[in-house]
Amino acid sequence: MSRLTPHAAWVAVPLLLLAGAASATQRGIHYGEIDDPGLVACDQQLWEGQLQRARACYRQLLGKAPATALRAELAWALGEIKAANRWFRQAVQENPESAPLRTRWGWLFAVTHQAAEAQALFDEALTLDPNYVYAKLGLASVMAGGFSGAASEALEPLLTDANIPTGAAIRASLMKAWLALEEGHLDEAETLLDRADGMLRSSTWPRLELLALRAAHAALGDEPVQPWVDEALAQNEFFGDAWAVPAYFMVITRRYEQAGQWYEAALAVQPDLWSARLELGTNLLRLDRPVEARRQIEAAYTGDPYNAKTVNTLRLLDTLDGFEIRTLTMGEKGMKLRLHSEEAAVLTPYVADLTRRSVALFSERYQYTPSQPVVVEMYPDHEDFAVRTVGLPGVGILGATFGYVVAMDSPAARSPDDFHWGTTLWHEIAHIFTLRATDHRVTRWFSEGISVFEEWRTGPVPGRQIPLVALNAMAEGKLLPLAQLDASFIRPSYPQQVIVSYMQAGLTCDFIEQEFGFAPLVEILAQYKAGAGTRKAVETALGITLEQFDERFAAFIDSEFSETFAALTEFEQQRGDAVGAAREQRWADVVEPAQRAATLLPAYVDADSPYLMLARAQRELEEPAAELSALQAFFDAGGRVPAALDRLAELLKDQGNVAAAADVLDESNWVAPLDWDRHSRLGELWLELGKADAAVREYRAALALNPHDRADAHLKLARSLNSAGRTDEARLEVLSALELAPNFREAQKLLMSLIES
Amino acid sequence: MRLSLTLWVVAILCWLGFETPTARAEIYSLTAAGLGGDADYDRRFAADAERIHESMQGSASLLTGQGATRETILAELDRWAGSMTEDDQAVVVLIGHGSMASDDYRFNVAGPDLTGTDLAAALEALPAQRQVLVNTTSASGALLERLAGKPGRVVITATKNGRELQATRFSSHFASALRSPAADLDKDRRINAAEAFAFAERAVADYFDSEGLLATEHPRQLGDNPSSLVLARLDDAASDAVAPELLARREVLNDQISALRARRSQMDQAEYLQELQSLLISLSMVSEKIEAAGGDSSARSGEVP
């Protein structure tokens, strides 16, 4: 479960089975793509689990000085990947017009995790022969690995084309079944698997991949997987994917413990199934078992050094050596924070505070108490977090939750102008409850919906925050029927659809609470735990059909947002006018359009909010009261741009409203807690208000951020500790100040005062 | 924790055992601003040079614009050699544009450029054992390792090497450091070389960070004990009314604190804190007396007049 940036990018996760390889670097089942009888005979032995005989067979063929293309296949079959690549290159040079040859070379790249090169070769093959179906399948596989919604569209015509070879039709059915399983469409998957099975039974191709998918289908339907696994292993006792494929589907449905057991089972029958070993290691990280994880991932690297995920994750594990682990109290089970050593001292109190508050609140609301310690990891380098989450950099998510483990960007990883880390942590902690309260059976849409809903309802910045892109999509009628919402998280059909789906999910929960009360939300969780799908869960909890739900939800959206939708065009126009005037520093001309834009969309509080343009204009026009008013409206609407909050606090303080200024700066901690000066200013305000303990927290944070003047920071902390009556701690701090600056007269005076008292 | 009676006795004994002040050394400083290439840079360089020159202690010289040439700069350094002793301190500050050409650093002044070779030879000829070269120009990092090797010499540059060729901002922040209480990290009302560098380095980094720009200069400092080289005072010298023995006593206590800090890693933490507290109480009492006598209770004496 994850929280997205407004510009999220989905990542490619290789679907090894669909790529035609039972194990990374292995050739897998080619379903008629190769017709050399000698090679197919060797392959048949491999597929039957006669590994030694198969290898001998390949070697024997190699000894007969075969043609270059066959030599490439044989090198590949024998695990000599670099040699295979060389032979394919030579074969293509010898026969540049061959679409099948380029397609096979493309598969070699696909199974060695080089999707771009694979796609280029499949494209070249289709240029040579637009009807070459195996290249179409290759391209669909690459699309599926990139979580593109186009994969399904590419496969559709192949499912109904009676003229394509049977092997290709089988593969198309299996691939489409895989996609259907990923999207949770079990009935559709079963139909496709039945279709594939029918064709397989009258062919010479093994049923191994079909059986693995049958096992996955059973697992997702809470049926026993063992019969299917047994049948597959009876055909090939070394076919680890019989376990690894259902394990993959357990991972994507967040059932990590089950996945781990099945990956171990896969490796027991096929120790060189390197993809499974990597996934096992990654899964152990999700379960907060980094030592065992490293062992598995290092082993995976020795067998498959081509996998970027493996290399990245090993590097990440090295990075984790620079993190501190802090175990803190919280309820019965406590919490564990894994924070970078340069941030741990400053972030710990804030992370612990928010974690305690959210866990206490959600325990009560969702009637579930964590039975293990909650683990929070925060990464100052976003790419480390991305690797932690999916093994690859370039992911547009902010946080992810794996059972009891929350991993997320630290405040240092992103600009505070558009990253409210407190809200992200709140969102992720909510996932712990929806996942654990349902034994990880909750659907993605509902878990994300509850997390977004809780952001709005109980989070650090309450109130609906809906990005413009989502408002525009809603205005264009792009919200989905509830039954289709889950699939849109996996394979979005248009850019930014995932963002829209997050908002729809949050609004759905909001709607349920408003129309039916809070209890049905808890009931839906109970239904998921009992194994219900969305239809049954929603219909049971709400007493209406899913279709009725969709109708009422559409009416709710209309009543809540029709005015907003109508205002969108004018908002953009007014905001554009304000931006234009501001660019030319015509400050008086900024005021009216900015005011109008803020009125049209009062909840829009991004960094380019009209409130901030208005405040800037009023400042330039030397109208401090109007500036304060604009900034206060921005703050009240949920705006948390740190520079704006600094200015608001300054104006409030100038007005003599110290308490309000302190409250505003205090909110900055959930956005930008890594600024020592802001902590110091807030500490000063708290001291002025007589809140010595709050001042201590801020001055400690300031000190942890290595301020330029450390002696002064120690003195300030000493003063706040003294005010809080903690004189022994105060004396130690003042000694620290004087250790750095022995002649620091103010510190000397405090020391003497403490000693004399 | 309160002080034990024993520690009070130790404090009083420390207080009685003062030493006489050391002989005061002379500071020679030269601030030179080279050619800006346009009116804006000319003004900026001259203004920074003026601010730095005004903050400098002791015998201070200023050369700017057309008056700052290779000949005048070398002549001034040559003049120092006639009166300077090895106990004195030499401070040379260069402001302007620098470059690398023919494998040597060049400070862009009217007429022939002053080269790194020129500077090396002139500094080498100075009798003063303690020397500070503050080169705030572009490409100044080229001199860092070349000139910092001599014991007692500290070299501060605006750039990390000779390849950072953009005009720098360092000189402006360095000038501010010499007048800013925020730069006075040890609160002795004086700005030493380490403090001035730390202030300016952070200010440069903050500038690029706040503007969202890729940093084009990375200040560096190399050499022995830069915190012992005082460049500027934040206020006037101590009142003549303060008894010399009080000032001397303060110096002794400061030295004892420094020595204690140096031994910290070999000591038990509680024992260290007790000794530290004892010395700091003594120092606080001396400071109070100095303050009562109308002197600067923070400023240490000894290094500069």
Residues 239-298 in B contacting A (C-alpha not used; CB under 8 Å):
250, 253-254, 257, 261, 273, 276-277, 279-281, 283-285, 287-288, 291, 297-298
- What residue ranges of chain A have pLDDT lower than 50? 5-24
* Type of residue numbered A676: W
SS3 (DSSP) at B133 = strand
Does any CB of chain A come closer than 8 Å to the CB of residue B198?
Answer: yes
Residue B35's pLDDT band, with cuts at 50, 70 and 90, is very high
Spell out the long-range contacts of A31-38 with Cβ–Cβ below 8 A and sequence spacing 24 or more. Answer: A31/A167, A31/A168, A31/A170, A31/A171, A31/A205, A32/A165, A32/A166, A32/A167, A32/A168, A32/A205, A33/A100, A33/A103, A33/A104, A33/A134, A33/A167, A33/A168, A34/A73, A34/A104, A36/A70, A36/A73
Does any CB of chain A come closer than 8 Å to the CB of residue B300?
Answer: yes
Q: What is the spatial distance between Cα A587 and Cα A469, in angstroms, rounded to a whole number? A: 28
* pTM (2 d.p.): 0.80
* Contact yes or no for B281 and A735 at CB 8 A: no
- Tokens linked to B84: 């300077």
Q: What is the spatial distance between Cα A256 and Cα A235, in angstroms, rounded to a whole number? A: 28
The nearest CA of chain B is from the CA of A54 a distance in Å of: 58
The nearest CA of chain A is from the CA of B187 a distance in Å of: 5
Residues 6+ apart with CB under 8 A from A293: A281, A282, A283, A284, A285, A317
Residue of A430, A414, A405, A422 whose CA lies nearest to A505: A430
Spell out the long-range contacts of B163-166 with Cβ–Cβ below 8 A and sequence spacing 24 or more. Answer: B163/B100, B163/B139, B164/B138, B164/B139, B164/B216, B164/B217, B164/B218, B165/B99, B165/B100, B165/B138, B165/B139, B166/B138, B166/B216, B166/B217
Phi, psi of A681 (to 5 degrees): -65, -40
**Residue of B235, B272, B278, B284 to mutate when probing chain A, most A C-beta within 10 A:** B284
Q: What is the spatial distance between Cα B279 and Cα B276, in angstroms, rounded to a whole number? A: 5
Length of chain B counted residue by residue = 305
Q: For residue A196, what are the CA distances in angstroms to A140, A245, A333?
A: 17, 17, 49
- Residues of A whose CB is below 8 A from B250: 743
The mean per-residue pLDDT over the stretch B172-189 comes to 93
Does any CB of chain A come closer than 8 Å to the CB of residue B29?
Answer: no
Residue of B45, B46, B53 whose CA lies nearest to B29: B53
The nearest CA of chain A is from the CA of B296 a distance in Å of: 10
Rounded to a whole number of angstroms, the CA Rg of chain B reads 21
Q: What is the spatial distance between Cα A585 and Cα A573, in angstroms, rounded to a whole number? A: 18
CB contact burial A625-650 (16+ within 10 A = b; e otherwise):
ebbbbbbbbbbebbbbbbebbbbbbb
Does any CB of chain B come closer than 8 Å to the CB of residue A415?
Answer: no
- Tokens linked to A448: 């994300």
- Compute the mean pLDDT over every residue in chain B, rounded to the nearest whole number: 86
**Residue of B176, B187, B275 to mutate when probing chain A, most A C-beta within 10 A:** B187
Q: Check residue B130 and report its DSSP letter.
A: E
User: Taking 70 as the threshold, does the pLDDT of residue B15 lie above it?
Assistant: no
User: What DSSP string runs through B43-74?
Assistant: HHHHHHHHHHHHHB-SEEEEEEGGG-BHHHHH
What is the tens place of the pLDDT at every residue in B137-157?
A: 999 999 998 999 899 999 999
* Contact yes or no for B299 and A743 at CB 8 A: yes
Nearest 5°: the CA angle A747, A748, A750 is 65
Length of chain A counted residue by residue = 757
Does any CB of chain A come closer than 8 Å to the CB of residue B144?
Answer: no
Residues 6+ apart with CB under 8 A from A742: B186, B253, B254, B257, B279, B280, B283
* Contact yes or no for B254 and A738 at CB 8 A: no
Q: What is the spatial distance between Cα A453 and Cα A635, in angstroms, rounded to a whole number? A: 20
What is the tens place of the pLDDT at every residue in A302-333?
A: 988 888 889 989 998 999 888 999 999 888 88
Residue in chain A lying closest to B190 (CA) = A743
* Contact yes or no for A743 and B261 at CB 8 A: no
Does any CB of chain B come closer than 8 Å to the CB of residue A739?
Answer: yes
CB-CB neighbours of A464 under 10 Å: 17
Q: What is the spatial distance between Cα A123 and Cα A99, in angstroms, rounded to a whole number? A: 10
The H helix count followed by the E strand count for chain A is: 37, 6
Residue B189: what pLDDT? Answer: 85
Nearest 5°: the CA angle B43, B47, B52 is 150
Strands (E) in A385-484, as ranges, are 397-402, 405-409
Does any CB of chain B come closer than 8 Å to the CB of residue A728?
Answer: yes
Does any CB of chain A come closer than 8 Å to the CB of residue B185?
Answer: yes
Q: What is the spatial distance between Cα A413 and Cα A411, in angstroms, rounded to a whole number? A: 5
The nearest CA of chain A is from the CA of B34 a distance in Å of: 31
Does any CB of chain B come closer than 8 Å to the CB of residue A709?
Answer: yes
Residue pair A723/A692 in contact by the 8 Å Cβ criterion: yes
User: Distance between terminal CA atoms of chain B?
Assistant: 39
Residues 6+ apart with CB under 8 A from A523: A540, A541
* Contact yes or no for A749 and B277 at CB 8 A: no
CB-CB neighbours of B98 under 10 Å: 31
Q: What is the spatial distance between Cα A14 and Cα A20, in angstroms, rounded to a whole number? A: 11
Task: Break chain A down into helix, strand, coil percent, rounded to 5.
Answer: 70, 5, 30
Residues paired with A335 in a beta bridge = A328, A374
Q: What is the ipTM of this complex?
A: 0.77
The nearest CA of chain A is from the CA of B83 a distance in Å of: 33
Residue pair A171/A136 in contact by the 8 Å Cβ criterion: no
* Contact yes or no for B280 and A735 at CB 8 A: yes
Q: What is the spatial distance between Cα A724 and Cα A712, in angstroms, rounded to a whole number? A: 18
Residue with tokens 């070394």: A238
- Tokens linked to A180: 């259907």
User: Taking 60 as the threshold, does the pLDDT of residue B167 lie above it?
Assistant: yes
Does any CB of chain B come closer than 8 Å to the CB of residue A711?
Answer: yes
> Between A and B, how many CB-CB pairs are < 8 A?
76
Does any CB of chain B come closer than 8 Å to the CB of residue A731?
Answer: yes
* Type of residue numbered B177: A
Helix residue ranges per DSSP H, A367-437: 382-390, 421-436
Phi, psi of A168 (to 5 degrees): -65, -40
**Residue of A708, A739, A743 to mutate when probing chain B, most B C-beta within 10 A:** A743
Residue B300's pLDDT band, with cuts at 50, 70 and 90, is low
- Tokens linked to A357: 């508050």
The nearest CA of chain B is from the CA of A651 a distance in Å of: 21
Residue in chain A lying closest to B280 (CA) = A742
